[in-house]
Amino acid sequence: MALSLRSPQHSAGRLLIEAAHQSAGAHCSLRLQALRPFRLSRRRSAPCVRYKMIRLIKDTLPNFPDEVIKEWLLPFAESEGWPPQLGSDGIPLKRWRYLLGLRPFGFFQRLNWKKEHKHISIHEIAEKSQPALVQIFEAAIFGRQNMMSSSISNLKERFESVVRYIESCGSMPNAPVLLSENDKYYIFDGNHRLSAYYYCYGYFKVDVESKLMLTIKENQNYWIAYQ
Protein backbone atom coordinates (compact mmCIF):
# COMPACT_ATOMS: atom_id res chain seq x y z
CA MET A 1 0.00 0.00 0.00
CA ALA A 2 1.31 3.44 -0.82
CA LEU A 3 0.28 6.71 0.75
CA SER A 4 0.71 9.88 -1.23
CA LEU A 5 1.98 12.80 0.80
CA ARG A 6 1.95 16.42 -0.13
CA SER A 7 4.06 19.36 0.77
CA PRO A 8 1.97 21.75 2.86
CA GLN A 9 1.07 25.24 1.78
CA HIS A 10 4.32 26.46 3.40
CA SER A 11 6.50 24.67 0.80
CA ALA A 12 6.43 23.01 -2.62
CA GLY A 13 6.91 19.51 -4.01
CA ARG A 14 5.50 16.06 -3.48
CA LEU A 15 6.72 12.88 -1.87
CA LEU A 16 5.57 9.30 -2.23
CA ILE A 17 6.21 7.16 0.81
CA GLU A 18 5.70 3.43 0.70
CA ALA A 19 3.86 2.43 3.87
CA ALA A 20 5.33 -1.07 3.76
CA HIS A 21 6.62 -3.46 6.46
CA GLN A 22 9.87 -3.17 6.66
CA SER A 23 29.24 -2.26 10.55
CA ALA A 24 29.98 -3.93 12.82
CA GLY A 25 31.73 -0.97 14.52
CA ALA A 26 34.34 -0.19 17.07
CA HIS A 27 34.42 -2.25 20.26
CA CYS A 28 33.22 -0.65 23.47
CA SER A 29 35.43 0.03 26.43
CA LEU A 30 36.41 -2.78 28.79
CA ARG A 31 34.70 -0.83 31.52
CA LEU A 32 31.34 -1.16 29.79
CA GLN A 33 31.84 -4.88 29.22
CA ALA A 34 32.63 -5.43 32.89
CA LEU A 35 29.51 -3.69 34.19
CA ARG A 36 26.61 -5.88 35.28
CA PRO A 37 23.27 -4.55 33.93
CA PHE A 38 21.37 -2.57 36.55
CA ARG A 39 17.56 -2.78 36.40
CA LEU A 40 14.97 -0.95 38.44
CA SER A 41 12.22 -2.84 40.24
CA ARG A 42 8.73 -3.03 38.78
CA ARG A 43 7.51 -0.73 41.51
CA ARG A 44 7.76 2.98 40.94
CA SER A 45 11.37 3.91 41.44
CA ALA A 46 12.43 6.40 44.07
CA PRO A 47 14.12 9.60 42.83
CA CYS A 48 17.46 8.49 44.27
CA VAL A 49 17.28 5.20 42.36
CA ARG A 50 16.35 6.98 39.13
CA TYR A 51 19.29 9.31 39.72
CA LYS A 52 21.56 6.28 40.06
CA MET A 53 20.34 4.96 36.71
CA ILE A 54 20.85 8.34 35.04
CA ARG A 55 24.41 8.49 36.40
CA LEU A 56 25.09 4.97 35.18
CA ILE A 57 23.96 5.88 31.68
CA LYS A 58 26.01 9.07 31.85
CA ASP A 59 29.09 7.11 32.89
CA THR A 60 28.90 4.91 29.79
CA LEU A 61 27.67 7.66 27.44
CA PRO A 62 29.30 10.85 28.77
CA ASN A 63 28.70 12.58 25.43
CA PHE A 64 24.91 12.33 25.80
CA PRO A 65 22.97 15.42 26.99
CA ASP A 66 20.95 14.87 30.17
CA GLU A 67 17.71 15.68 28.36
CA VAL A 68 18.34 12.99 25.73
CA ILE A 69 19.08 10.46 28.44
CA LYS A 70 15.94 11.26 30.44
CA GLU A 71 13.55 11.47 27.49
CA TRP A 72 14.89 8.62 25.36
CA LEU A 73 17.12 6.10 27.15
CA LEU A 74 15.95 6.23 30.78
CA PRO A 75 12.45 4.71 30.32
CA PHE A 76 13.92 1.72 28.47
CA ALA A 77 16.89 1.41 30.84
CA GLU A 78 14.45 1.14 33.76
CA SER A 79 12.75 -1.87 32.17
CA GLU A 80 15.59 -3.48 30.19
CA GLY A 81 18.54 -2.72 32.46
CA TRP A 82 21.73 -0.78 31.80
CA PRO A 83 24.25 -1.07 30.26
CA PRO A 84 23.08 -3.26 27.36
CA GLN A 85 24.69 -6.64 26.92
CA LEU A 86 26.74 -6.67 23.72
CA GLY A 87 27.24 -9.25 21.01
CA SER A 88 30.63 -10.15 19.55
CA ASP A 89 30.06 -7.46 16.90
CA GLY A 90 29.61 -4.75 19.54
CA ILE A 91 25.89 -4.43 18.79
CA PRO A 92 23.59 -4.58 21.85
CA LEU A 93 21.54 -7.74 22.36
CA LYS A 94 17.85 -8.35 23.11
CA ARG A 95 15.50 -5.38 22.90
CA TRP A 96 18.34 -2.84 22.89
CA ARG A 97 19.44 -4.24 19.53
CA TYR A 98 16.46 -2.62 17.82
CA LEU A 99 16.00 0.34 20.15
CA LEU A 100 19.49 1.47 19.14
CA GLY A 101 18.97 0.77 15.46
CA LEU A 102 21.31 -2.23 15.07
CA ARG A 103 24.34 -0.01 15.64
CA PRO A 104 27.46 -0.86 17.70
CA PHE A 105 27.48 0.69 21.15
CA GLY A 106 30.77 2.38 20.37
CA PHE A 107 28.97 4.32 17.63
CA PHE A 108 26.88 6.11 20.26
CA GLN A 109 29.90 6.92 22.40
CA ARG A 110 31.35 8.94 19.51
CA LEU A 111 28.30 11.06 18.63
CA ASN A 112 28.26 14.83 18.98
CA TRP A 113 24.95 16.37 20.03
CA LYS A 114 23.33 19.70 19.27
CA LYS A 115 19.89 21.06 20.12
CA GLU A 116 18.50 22.93 17.14
CA HIS A 117 15.40 25.01 16.52
CA LYS A 118 14.35 24.76 12.89
CA HIS A 119 11.95 23.20 10.41
CA ILE A 120 12.64 19.66 9.24
CA SER A 121 10.49 18.64 6.30
CA ILE A 122 9.11 15.12 6.03
CA HIS A 123 11.16 14.96 2.82
CA GLU A 124 14.29 15.18 4.97
CA ILE A 125 13.42 12.14 7.09
CA ALA A 126 15.44 9.01 6.23
CA GLU A 127 13.62 6.35 4.22
CA LYS A 128 14.08 3.84 7.06
CA SER A 129 12.17 6.14 9.42
CA GLN A 130 9.35 7.19 7.09
CA PRO A 131 7.15 4.05 7.23
CA ALA A 132 6.67 4.33 11.01
CA LEU A 133 5.42 7.91 10.65
CA VAL A 134 2.95 6.92 7.95
CA GLN A 135 1.70 3.85 9.79
CA ILE A 136 1.13 5.78 13.03
CA PHE A 137 -0.85 8.39 11.09
CA GLU A 138 -2.91 5.77 9.24
CA ALA A 139 -3.68 3.83 12.42
CA ALA A 140 -4.63 6.94 14.42
CA ILE A 141 -6.70 8.70 11.74
CA PHE A 142 -8.14 5.82 9.68
CA GLY A 143 -8.02 3.00 12.22
CA ARG A 144 -5.91 0.81 9.96
CA GLN A 145 -4.19 -2.26 11.32
CA ASN A 146 -0.45 -2.30 10.65
CA MET A 147 2.85 -3.10 12.30
CA MET A 148 2.80 0.02 14.49
CA SER A 149 -0.81 -0.41 15.69
CA SER A 150 -0.11 -4.06 16.49
CA SER A 151 2.90 -3.25 18.65
CA ILE A 152 1.57 -0.11 20.41
CA SER A 153 -1.76 -0.63 22.16
CA ASN A 154 -2.35 3.06 22.98
CA LEU A 155 -1.13 4.42 19.63
CA LYS A 156 -4.28 6.45 18.91
CA GLU A 157 -4.34 7.99 22.39
CA ARG A 158 -0.68 8.98 22.18
CA PHE A 159 -1.12 10.48 18.72
CA GLU A 160 -4.19 12.47 19.78
CA SER A 161 -2.48 13.74 22.93
CA VAL A 162 0.33 15.20 20.80
CA VAL A 163 -2.22 16.79 18.45
CA ARG A 164 -3.98 18.41 21.42
CA TYR A 165 -0.65 19.68 22.76
CA ILE A 166 0.24 21.17 19.38
CA GLU A 167 -3.21 22.75 19.17
CA SER A 168 -2.60 24.40 22.54
CA CYS A 169 1.09 25.30 22.31
CA GLY A 170 1.98 25.19 18.61
CA SER A 171 4.95 22.94 19.27
CA MET A 172 5.72 19.30 20.03
CA PRO A 173 6.02 18.18 23.67
CA ASN A 174 9.75 17.56 24.06
CA ALA A 175 12.32 17.53 21.28
CA PRO A 176 12.52 14.42 19.06
CA VAL A 177 15.92 12.71 18.99
CA LEU A 178 17.42 12.39 15.51
CA LEU A 179 20.62 11.26 13.81
CA SER A 180 22.01 13.26 10.90
CA GLU A 181 23.11 10.68 8.35
CA ASN A 182 23.68 11.00 4.59
CA ASP A 183 21.90 14.37 4.45
CA LYS A 184 18.77 12.84 6.04
CA TYR A 185 17.46 12.44 9.58
CA TYR A 186 17.04 9.01 11.15
CA ILE A 187 14.57 8.99 14.06
CA PHE A 188 15.86 7.54 17.33
CA ASP A 189 12.96 8.79 19.44
CA GLY A 190 9.81 10.78 18.72
CA ASN A 191 7.85 8.89 16.05
CA HIS A 192 4.44 9.78 17.55
CA ARG A 193 5.38 13.42 17.97
CA LEU A 194 6.68 13.76 14.44
CA SER A 195 3.79 11.86 12.88
CA ALA A 196 1.30 14.15 14.67
CA TYR A 197 3.36 17.22 13.76
CA TYR A 198 3.42 16.35 10.06
CA TYR A 199 -0.32 15.65 10.19
CA CYS A 200 -1.03 19.04 11.79
CA TYR A 201 1.35 20.81 9.45
CA GLY A 202 -0.50 19.48 6.40
CA TYR A 203 1.96 17.02 4.87
CA PHE A 204 -0.52 14.14 4.72
CA LYS A 205 -3.23 14.37 2.07
CA VAL A 206 -6.13 14.77 4.48
CA ASP A 207 -8.12 17.76 5.65
CA VAL A 208 -6.76 19.38 8.79
CA GLU A 209 -8.65 21.76 11.05
CA SER A 210 -7.81 25.34 10.16
CA LYS A 211 -7.09 26.04 13.84
CA LEU A 212 -4.27 23.51 13.78
CA MET A 213 -2.80 24.97 10.62
CA LEU A 214 -2.85 28.43 12.19
CA THR A 215 -1.53 27.33 15.59
CA ILE A 216 1.35 25.06 14.59
CA LYS A 217 4.78 26.65 14.47
CA GLU A 218 7.06 25.99 11.52
CA ASN A 219 10.26 25.72 13.55
CA GLN A 220 10.50 23.09 16.29
CA ASN A 221 13.14 21.89 18.74
CA TYR A 222 15.21 18.80 17.92
CA TRP A 223 18.12 16.99 19.51
CA ILE A 224 20.37 16.03 16.59
CA ALA A 225 23.35 13.70 16.76
CA TYR A 226 26.24 14.19 14.35
CA GLN A 227 28.91 11.60 13.55
User: 6: pLDDT confidence band, cut at 50, 70 and 90?
Assistant: low
Backbone φ and ψ of 32, nearest 5°: -65, -45
pLDDT at 15 over 70: no
pLDDT at 192 over 60: yes
User: 5: pLDDT confidence band, cut at 50, 70 and 90?
Assistant: low
Q: For the ranges 49-53, 72-76, 120-124, which has the lowest average pLDDT? A: 49-53
Computed over every residue of the chain, the mean pLDDT equals: 85
Interval 127-142 mean pLDDT: 97
- Looking at residue 31, its pLDDT comes to 47
Q: What percent of the chain clears pLDDT 90, i.e. is strictly above it?
A: 72
User: 60: pLDDT confidence band, cut at 50, 70 and 90?
Assistant: very high
Interval 40-45 mean pLDDT: 52
User: 50: pLDDT confidence band, cut at 50, 70 and 90?
Assistant: confident
- Looking at residue 25, its pLDDT comes to 40
pLDDT at 217 over 50: yes
Q: What percent of the chain clears pLDDT 70, i.e. is strictly above it?
A: 80
- Looking at residue 30, its pLDDT comes to 40
Interval 102-112 mean pLDDT: 97
- Looking at residue 154, its pLDDT comes to 95
Interval 68-96 mean pLDDT: 95
